[in-house]
Amino acid sequence: MTKFSSIAEKNTIQSAFKKLSGAYGKILIVIDKKKTLLGLITIGDLRRAILAGFNLNDKIKKIYKRNVTYVFEDELNKKKLNKSNFTSNSLGDTTFYVPVIDKNKKVKDILPVEKILNILEANNSINNVYKKKLPKILIVGGAGFIGTVLTSKLLEKNYHVTILDKLIYDNKIIKNNFKNKKNFNFIFGDVCDINTQIKAIKDIDIVVYLAEIVGDPACSAKPEDALKTNYLSVLSFANLCSYLAIEKYIYTSSCSVYGLDKNNDLLNENSNLNPVSHYARIKIMSEKALLTSANNYFKPTILRLGTVFGPSKRMRFDLVVNTMSKFAYFKNKIDVYGGTQLRPNIHVDDVADGIISIIKAKKKDVENEIFNLSNDKLNLKIIEIAKKIKKTFKNANLNIIEASPDNRNYKVNSSKIRNKIGFVANKSIESALKEIKNIFKFKKIKNPDNKKYNNFLSLK
């Protein structure tokens, strides 16, 4: 039997806060004098209530959730649910635990949803009664290169998605691609603005934080914006998520944090960090700050992405594979600066799928963890990437320029994410080149030199 904590509905929000700070976990069961189940309340519910204008002396009667999931003890023992309320509709954000009640609705136990599912699955008796409700996702910076791919995939899988973005690069991207989509909501705004943060977080279960001034040249063009967006608002937003006990907070860092590795080792999440750019140094600050602010209610997941390539609704032609493809197709040349530097690479589809597997993963496998997210087969020298591009764009010539403005050199290993949750990135550069070539061939992008496809040119 699981130890659980209960409260009467005449108690105040303040006393519920007090009870929840005890050792019994995140949920209070609301009961009447006969110990009959009335509802549930979580720390997140209490905090949302305060945000909505209730005060500490208000009774929890005004705010607790009444339509909650529960199972009857005898039905669970027989592994066959009939009258139990174990349906998608009864699920809220408190449904990681489900009260088990007797026929008089007296609470006997409280069990994790997964445990109940295991019991029922063992007997093949779920019978469509219970279909796990999908969490509501907020993608901060979701109108960008990775965010638009992720949004499309999540919507296809019927998740509810809200994007918060200030549309730095393309102010029509939402209108042209997501307007009127089912389960989609857009908030135009700046994540550095606290009011916007509060507006965006309401009614959200999981946050994916992608908003950044991305890349070193772009950060140099707007150093103050970079500090605000890439560091200060990552933290203030994390604080808000912690305050509201948001289920998961997924932050995209970068493998650039490894910077310059003179030994050419295969780096993992415990390897030394040696950043060589302002952008990477800020990433490290944000990673550290997120992990140190972790607590019972806030357990972030950090993904260190390799350099991303491939097509997106918000195309970027300032990333190595994409940029080289553009020049190869339109100018018949591939400029290679230096060429011997090693980089880890990953297709944008794999990044989105990797984020979705974190969303779907058991919390205990991903919370407070850092994962490299790259394709282990694609730790490549820049010259090797250029040669792959030449194979697809046969008329292009390689143009080697000795000096390189970028001295990052590192290769990474992404076995941790594979071992923990079974995710493996496997889309090749060749498949992306085919996709990009078709974009050019069928003129899906009219002017690839438009500065909106290049973060630095847009911001300088």
Helices assigned H by DSSP within 313-428: 320-331, 348-360, 363-366, 382-392, 415-421
Token readout for 404 is 């390189």
Please identify which residue in 47, 65, 166, 222 interacts with ligand NAD, judged by CB under 6 A.
Answer: 166
Q: Of the listed pieces 55-63, 190-198, 409-417, 432-440, which binds ligand NAD according to CB under 6 A?
A: 190-198
Among 252, 301, 375, 379, binds ligand NAD (CB under 6 A): 252
Contact window for ligand NAD (CB under 6 A) among 179-187, 205-213, 269-277, 363-371: 205-213
- Rule CB under 6 A: choose which of 113, 129, 167, 294 binds ligand NAD: 167
Q: H or E stretch including 221? A: helix 216-221
Near ligand NAD in 219-248, by CB under 6 A: 229
Closest separation in Å from C-beta 223 to ligand NAD: 14
- Answer for which of 68, 71, 76, 191 binds ligand NAD (CB under 6 A) is 191
Q: CB pairs under 8 A, 24+ apart, for 417-420?
A: 417/354, 417/357, 417/371, 417/372, 417/373, 420/361, 420/365, 420/366, 420/369, 420/371
Q: Hey, is 223 helix, strand or coil?
A: helix
* Binding region for ligand NAD (CB under 6 A) out of 61-69, 119-127, 211-219, 395-403: 211-219
Q: Three-class SS of residue 307? A: strand
- The rounded distance, in Å, linking the Cα atoms of 23 and 8 is 19
Strand-pair category, 27-31 with 37-42 = antiparallel
Among 192, 291, 342, 421, binds ligand NAD (CB under 6 A): 192
Helices 278-292 and 233-243 cross at an angle (nearest 10°) of 20
User: Is residue 301 exposed (0-12), middle (13-18) or buried (19+ Cβ within 10 Å)?
Assistant: buried
Distance of CA 145 to the CA centre of its chain: 14
Smaller CB distance to ligand NAD: residue 206 or 245? 206
Going residue by residue from 21 to 60, which x/- string records binding to ligand NAD, judged by CB under 6 A? ----------------------------------------
Identify which range of 55-63, 85-93, 164-172, 268-276 contacts ligand NAD by CB under 6 A. Answer: 164-172
Convert residues 285-324 into a mask of x (bound to ligand NAD by CB under 6 A) and - (unbound).
Answer: --------------------x-xx-----x-x--x-----
Tokens of 298: 């806030």
Of the two residues 252 and 301, which places its CB atom closer to ligand NAD in the complex?
A: 252
Q: Which is nearer to ligand NAD, 42 or 307 (CB)?
A: 307
Kind of pairing, strands 369-373 and 107-112?
A: unpaired
Summarize as ranges the residues that interact with ligand NAD (CB under 6 A): 141, 143-147, 165-169, 190-192, 210-212, 214, 229, 252, 254, 305, 307-308, 314, 316, 319, 455
